[in-house]
Structure 1
Amino acid sequence: MKAVQFHGHGGHDVIQYDEVPEQPPGPDEVRFRVKAAALNHLDVWTRRGMPGIDLEMPHTPGSDAAGVVVDVGENVERFEQNDRVAVSAGVACGRCEFCRDGEESMCVRYQIIGEHRPGVHAEYATVPADNLVPVPEGVDWEVAGSASLVFQTAWRMLVSRADLSPTDSVLVLGASGGVGHAAVQIAHHVGGEVYATASSEEKLGYAADCGADHVIDYTEKNYAEEIRSLTGKRGVDVVVDHVAGESWSDSLGSLAKGGKLVTCGATAGGQPHTDVNRIFWNQLSVLGSTMATPGEVDDALSLVWDGTFEPRVREVVPMSEAARGHRMLEDREGFGKVVLKPDSEL
């Protein structure tokens, strides 16, 4: 079978579409034929290399995919041949204090498929049965293969960690990206006033279409100043920041007293300047968030399957052109998700 592989850490030249051995499922695993997969910034970071993660090369990336079950391990009872499934990429040990308390995404041995272990950007993929969710008939493969990682992440950030209420106002940074456009939809669904930043008129239009009430071009305006102006100097109740870097201070500056900044990543840099005085004086909360629990995954994806939420697809790319997909993410081209399909499915 064919699979996308990194033959080392580096630029786009390390990405190949190789012939690899097929992997039969273990006792607790499921093997499925991939119908559609999706790229995330996590794939870019994994390709470049991250401190503390030593991967065996070549490495198959990919945390998002959906397809049809072809084989199951002897202990698997939840799935059978021809079932429609999608990947939920967080792997927990099931034994530590956090897993036993129902907080699997805080597991002390937590891993993510495609980052810490082989991923699913391939014609066929084999994963633990616990890392699959059923996909109803009628859900497009492009939707099923691109929703899980970003919608579960945004759901936990806003609903569980920030405890968003219908009276809260929310600022979402980078609304054109995967997590960003999912967060806009979730915030709009809960019912709060939604503000969103993006870098072009086209992207701002898409953000508004996803539910943003106010859009801000961060390349033309300081978004913290704009938030203060739009809210009568009050600020917003929640900021979704997966960017960090130089924007971190402006994110804190956009919050109302008692506000919450929730973060799941740092695409612009993980060592930002922090205004501690502002945090304690305004009694702000800074909340970290990673992936989601199985129950949160079910809650978020049920609203994707019924059409309430929609992963916007900017382009469908053959897996053999995965390098082009990586380039699109890095160059911030377009709005929403880049979907990969095995060349055999095109």
Structure 2
Amino acid sequence: MKAIVLHERGRAGVSLCDMPCPECQPGWVRLRMIAASVNRVDLYMRDSGAGITHDLPLIMGVDGVGEVIEAPGCPGLVPGDRVILYPYEFCGRCRSCLAGDQPLCHSARILGEHRHGTFAEEVVLPARSLIRLAPDADMDQAAVLGVAYLTAWRMVFGKSPAGPGSVVLVQGVGGGVAYAAMQLARMAGARVIVTTSGATKIGHFRALGVEVIDYRAEDVPKAVLRLTYGEGADLVIDNVGEQTWGASLRSLARGGHLVTCGATTGAHPSADIQRLFVRQLSIHGSTMGSMDEFRRLIRAWEAGGFTPLIDRAFPLAEVPAAYDRLDDPARMGKLLIRIA
């Protein structure tokens, strides 16, 4: 089968290769991949991978959708069923799994990180990591939900849920997770303020009716305080890291919550501890979400609560070009990989 394989670090280490088709055991499902999406972690795996237990060569790609080829010992699935992949292979037996918090599974393996991923013509996964989709589901849209939208769901509806009456600030809203968080917070009825730059992006969000702060032209915390009459934001969504961390903390209302899922610009910002305890702020880390959250996300999408924004689609062979687009400041929303 054809697959995008990471052989060594760096751009030259990623290529389209022939790989053996995966074997399927009882309780597992072999899938023909239809589509997947590009995520920031793909670049991290390409360029570093530090702290993630894995071996090379590694098939890349974390999320996606596929069609069942075979499902031995899985009575709920038959060949031809279309499914969305939960990005984790989890045990189902540890304390976290039994509590319904699969991302904290003691032996979790993430596709494209700890084991072979989704940028391939075929993938095998345990049946418990799959959710059936309607036969007429939009597979392009479904393919981009597994990482960005699931991560955003937990950030928006997790430990400090957004809702009517709350103010949510989304930093760097052009990226996949941030754009998803903006959509989900609006769906929840929250007042949403976003930061971005460039006339095209600013115009896009203003046309949606979203309040926009141009972070290149304005002091973000001052602008947030001006827009909220000195109160600040109840929830700040930040996946940028060091570059925005200080502004995110200063933009929070007293008792507010900062949720982070990324460190694109650096992982060691100032903690600003005095501000944390004086204003009684909370910081939450977030990575993807549980199976229950995934099901709720899919139901919200199926009901028309939001429509994923897809920036551009690439064929499997052009994943390296999609990686370049991910770093393009003009990119907005998700990048789709069409496989079948």
Please report the RMSD computed on the Cα atoms of aligned residues, expressed in angstroms: 1.5
Q: 1:125 Cα deviation (Å)?
A: 1.6
Aligned-residue offset at 1:141 = 1.7
Whole-angstrom distance in 2 between the partners of 1:117 and 1:292: 19
Shift of residue 120 of structure 1? 0.6
Question: Residue 334 of structure 1 is aligned with which of 320, 331, 336?
Answer: 331
Is the contact made by 2:163 and 2:185 (CA closer than 8 Å) also made in structure 1?
A: no
- How far does residue 275 in structure 1 lie from its aligned partner after superposition? 1.0
Q: TM-score, normalised by structure 1?
A: 0.94
Contact 1:201/1:217 (8 A) holds in 2: no
Whether the aligned pair in 2 keeps the contact of 1:36 and 1:142 (CA below 8 Å) is yes
Cα distance change of structure 1 residues 90 and 162 upon mapping to structure 2, 3 Å threshold: farther
Q: How does 1:259-338 map to 2 (within 5 A)?
A: 259-338=256-335
Aligned counterpart for 2:217 among listed residues 207, 215, 220: 220
Q: What is the Cα deviation at residue 52 of structure 1?
A: 2.1
Structure 1: 5+ residue runs without aligned partners? none
Determine the C-alpha separation between the residues in 1 that align with 2:300 and 2:17. 36
Q: What letter corresponds to residue 179 of structure 1 in structure 2?
A: V
Q: Which residue of 2 aligns with 1:94?
A: 92
| CA distance, structure 1, for counterparts of residue 73 and residue 238 of structure 2 | 41
- Corresponding residue to 1:145 among 143, 146, 159: 143
Match of 1:50 in 2: 49
Q: Which runs of 4+ in 1 moved over 3 A?
A: 205-209
Pairing 1:103-142 to 2, within 5 Å after superposition = 103-142=101-140
Select 1:156's aligned residue among 137, 144, 154: 154
Residues 31/332 of structure 1: CA separation in 2 closer, same or farther (3 Å cut):
farther
CA drift of 1:137 comes to: 2.7
Q: Which amino acid aligns with 1:271?
A: H
Q: Which amino acid in the other structure matches residue 296 of structure 1?
A: E
Give the 3-state SS of the residue equivalent to 1:317 in structure 2: strand
Distance 1:230 1:323, change over 3 A: same
Tell me, what secondary structure is at the counterpart of 1:85? strand
Q: Does the residue aligned with 1:64 lie in a helix, a strand or coil? A: coil
Per-residue CA deviations over 1:222-279 (Å, capped at 9, x if unaligned) read 2222111211221010001111113111100000001000111211111111211111
Matched residue of 2:64: which SS?
strand
CA distance in 2, matches of 1:333, 1:61: 24
How far apart in 1 are the matches of 2:170 and 2:16? Answer: 35
Counterpart residue identity of residue 147, structure 2: L
Give the CA deviation at 1:128. Answer: 1.7
The answer to whether residue 222 in structure 2 is matched with residue 240 in structure 1 is no
Quick one: distance in 1 between partners of 2:127 and 2:21?
Answer: 17
**Matched residue SS, 1:55:** coil
Aligned to 2:3: 3
SS of the counterpart of 1:325?
Answer: helix
Q: Tell me the residue number matched to 1:13.
A: 12
Whole-angstrom distance in 2 between the partners of 1:305 and 1:14: 38
Tell me if structure 2 keeps the 8 A contact 1:136–1:305. Answer: no
1 CA distance for matches of 2:85 and 2:160?
25
For 2:216 and 2:73, how far apart are their aligned partners in 1? 53
Secondary structure of residue in 2 paired with 1:161: coil
How far 1:51 sits from its partner (Å)? 2.1
The alpha-carbon deviation at position 208 of structure 1 amounts to: 4.4
Note the alpha carbon deviations across 1:90-122, whole angstroms, 9 max, x for none. Answer: 232222222222222222323311111110111
Contact 2:300–2:306 (8 Å) recurs in 1: yes
Measured in 1, the distance between the counterparts of 2:93 and 2:209 equals: 41
Match of 1:230 in 2: 227
Establish whether residue 253 from structure 1 lines up as the match of residue 218 from structure 2.
no
The separation in 2 between residues aligned to 1:25 and 1:305, in whole angstroms, is 30
Residue aligning to 1:37: 36
**Do the aligned residues in 1 keep the contact of 2:205 with 2:211 (CA within 8 Å)?**
no
Distance 1:32 1:107 in 2: 24
5+ residue gaps in structure 2? Answer: none
Deviations 1:295-322 (A, max 9, x none): 1000011112232222111111111111
In the TM superposition, residue 212 of structure 1 has moved relative to its aligned partner by 5.8
Is the CA contact (8 Å cut-off) linking 1:30 and 1:128 kept in structure 2?
yes
Which residue does 2:163 correspond to in 1? Answer: 165
Relative to the length of structure 2, the TM-score reads 0.95
Matching residue's letter, 1:8: E
Q: CA deviation at 1:24?
A: 2.4
Corresponding residue of 2:23: 24
Summarize the Cα distance change of 1:167–1:87 in structure 2 as closer, same or farther, 3 Å threshold. Answer: same
Measured after TM superposition, the shift of residue 290 of structure 1 is 1.7
Q: Is the 8 A contact 2:205 2:212 kept in 1?
A: yes
Change (3 A) 1:66 1:208: farther
